[in-house]
Amino acid sequence: MTSVVPSPTPAVADELSEHVREALDSAIADLVTGALTWTHLTLDQRARLLERLHATVSAHAEEWADTAALSKGLEPGHPLRGEEWLSGPYAALVALDAYRDSLRALACGISPLDGVRTDAAPGGRLRAHTFPLHAMDGLLLSGYTGEVWFEPGVTVHEARRTAGLAQLEPTEPGGVGLVLGAGNVTSIPVLDVLYELLAHNRVVILKVNPTQDSLVAVYERALAPLIEPGFLRIVQGGGEAGGYLTAHPDIAHVHITGAAPTFDAIVWGPSTGPQAEATARRKREHHPHLTKPITAELGGVSPIIVVPGTWTEADLRYHAEHVVTMRLQNSGHNCIAGQVVILGSDWPQRAAFLAALDAAYDAAPARPVWYPRSAQKLDAAASSYPSASRHGDGSRLLVEIDTGQDATDLETTEYFAPVLGVVSLPGNGQEFLDAAVRHANEKLTGTLGANVLIDPETQTALGDRFEDAIAALRYGDIAVNSWTAFAFLTPTLTWGGFPGGTLDDVESGIGVVHNALLLDRVERSVTRGPFRPFPRSAGALGRRGRFSVLPKPPWFVSSRTGATVSEGFTRYRMDGNLARLAGTLVQAYRA
């Protein structure tokens, strides 16, 4: 059903020049025509279109990564430039491959879920083991696995029958969708465009965030196979352009990646200024300003639950670097950056872990804190917690909450900056884990991602109760001895907040994205990684734990060869050159 939406308000329209309004209207008109063309493409033609996109993205991958790195102040030779290869063209390429495979299966009358192992998860849930699905994935990311958990009650038959979403009825038009792109990670707008097209049959107008204006020309070249037939238009502008587009009568749906306050402003109106009173009235009366459907992927305060166990010195150092990576990757400007470490106050190794964390936080390579208003966020955290310690060049804040100290600001403010906090809870084993899960669910804002670090001996001792604790975490993506960013980068997993977000209380969003198997009624995705990297993972052979041939992962901020390996992994996804990949793997062992 098509919603009746208001015309742009005079205030918004007046702030845009006639030329800009005409350009936006023209872009939408092109897409209205393109939507008709899209519905006439067969599944096989859509799969071939994705192959063309793979070629054009590959052709511009180096330019994409370089432009993104420079926009964030990472000059040539900087050890963290590999982040922009992995979170940019790499993420787009693996998604294109996964969507293509799903389309090919559907074109042959096969469910994308056929051949994927399924079993039972706690609480009457079905679980599909969706990573790795190919041998090379298992080699490059050795020891890492991923699962999609469906809502309670979904059967194997239903999951397989409904896999495909809008591609089960490819001739059914979805209209024109608006994607309001994220400003922090360069693959997000591209992945959101693909999901609109393939999960919903919606052609897309993408308004990039102003922080990514330098990428627009790259996007236009890389995504030319979508732009030429009228399936995609890319536009620029600030909040005024976004407001005009969300209210446009030919926009059928809005998707945003961003923050909850931005979502609320779109749905209800400004919370400050002359329109604040009208906004408050609309909320009271439940009459949203936006009267068309909206989905969203929003951030939150992500926990890192460290389950007490008996760790070696190497374990303490490795996972301290793991935690620091969760906070400092992209300078902390990530919606799933780990922000609150939950430690056991009774853990005998608590002080040793904190010492390792302190050292790793200092030692991570220096880089700009580049996202707008980050300095204010850091100042706010320092004001709330005067005892916090400065690390690195002074732009990293470590907040250890003492007994009796108020942790509210730390646990409810998504700082989106290099602010890492530590809170402590009593207990060991299951008692601690259950308390930590309750604390994360009840005290921390958001439901997007949660991380759990646990040694294999402790996990084995907990048995099925550990899986029950994972089921109790109300998060859309959960990482066990991994980082939730792994779920973000894995297209056969889903990405989004835990189900239950509403217009009134959006939490970490509504709906999911990525999801290249096009699965319906998904509740969460769970990733699992090796507690110990190679060669220490060899101890898992024939015993407890996960074996991995992967040494320090290239996404660790402490990896000495992370930039080289990340670029090499991306180039392999571009052309499948095994000889060059061998050299990349040699570099991986020098991390």
Q: What is the pLDDT of residues 391-412, one digit of tens each?
A: 999 999 999 999 889 999 999 9
Distance (Å, rounded) from C-alpha 443 to C-alpha 437? 10
Neighbouring CB atoms inside 10 A of 46's CB total: 20
Cis amide linkage into residue 535, ω under 30° from 0: yes
Domains of the chain: 10-131+171-258+260-298 (3.40.605.10), 305-511+524-528 (3.40.309.10)
For the sheet containing 253-258, what is the strand order? 232-235, 203-207, 176-180, 253-258, 294-298, 509-510
Per-residue confidence band for 521, with pLDDT thresholds at 50, 70 and 90: very high
pLDDT band at 9 (very low <50, low <70, confident <90, very high): very low
> 6 pLDDT exceeds 70?
no
Average pLDDT over residues 399-426: 96
Q: Residue 269: pLDDT above 70?
A: yes
pLDDT (0 to 100) of residue 7: 35
Q: Where are the strands (E) in 502-544, listed by range?
A: 509-510, 513-514, 522-528
DSSP 389: E
Calpha distance 202→571 (Å, rounded): 30
Across residues 451-469, what is the average pLDDT?
97
pLDDT beyond 60 at 14: no
CB 397 within 8 A of CB 382: yes
CA distance 207 to 257: 11
Computed over every residue of the chain, the mean pLDDT equals 95
Q: Reply yes or no on whether the pLDDT at 1 is more than 50.
A: no
Q: What is the pLDDT of residue 11?
A: 44
User: Given pLDDT bands bounded at 50, 70 and 90, which one contains residue 256?
Assistant: very high
Query: Quick one: average pLDDT of 60-76?
Result: 98
| pLDDT of 4 over the 50 cut | no
Residue-wise pLDDT tens digits, 522-567: 999 999 999 999 999 988 886 677 899 989 999 999 999 999 999 9
Buried b (16+ CB within 10 A) or exposed e, 182-197: bbbbbbbbbbbbbbbb
Q: What is the CA radius of gyration of the chain?
A: 23
CB-based contact 78:367 (threshold 8 Å): yes
Q: What is the pLDDT of residue 403?
A: 83
The Cα 283–Cα 268 span in angstroms is: 7
> Could you give phi then psi for residue 442, rounded to 5 degrees?
-100, -30
Q: Which two tokens stand for residue 112?
A: 């994308």
First to last CA, the chain: 54
pTM (global) more than 0.85? yes
Q: Considering only 10-14, 149-153, 326-330, 456-460, which range has the smallest mean pLDDT? A: 10-14
Tell whether the model's pLDDT for residue 3 goes beyond 80.
no
What percent of the chain has pLDDT above 90? Answer: 93
Q: Which residue has the higher pLDDT, 92 or 277?
A: 92
Closest CA relative to residue 259, chosen from 291, 292, 296: 296
What mean pLDDT do residues 514-526 have? 98
Q: Long-range contact list for 396-399, CB < 8 A, 24+ apart?
A: 396/328, 396/361, 396/364, 396/420, 398/357, 398/358, 398/361, 398/422
Q: What is the pLDDT of residue 542?
A: 65
The verdict on whether omega for the bond into residue 288 sits within 30 degrees of 0, i.e. cis, is no
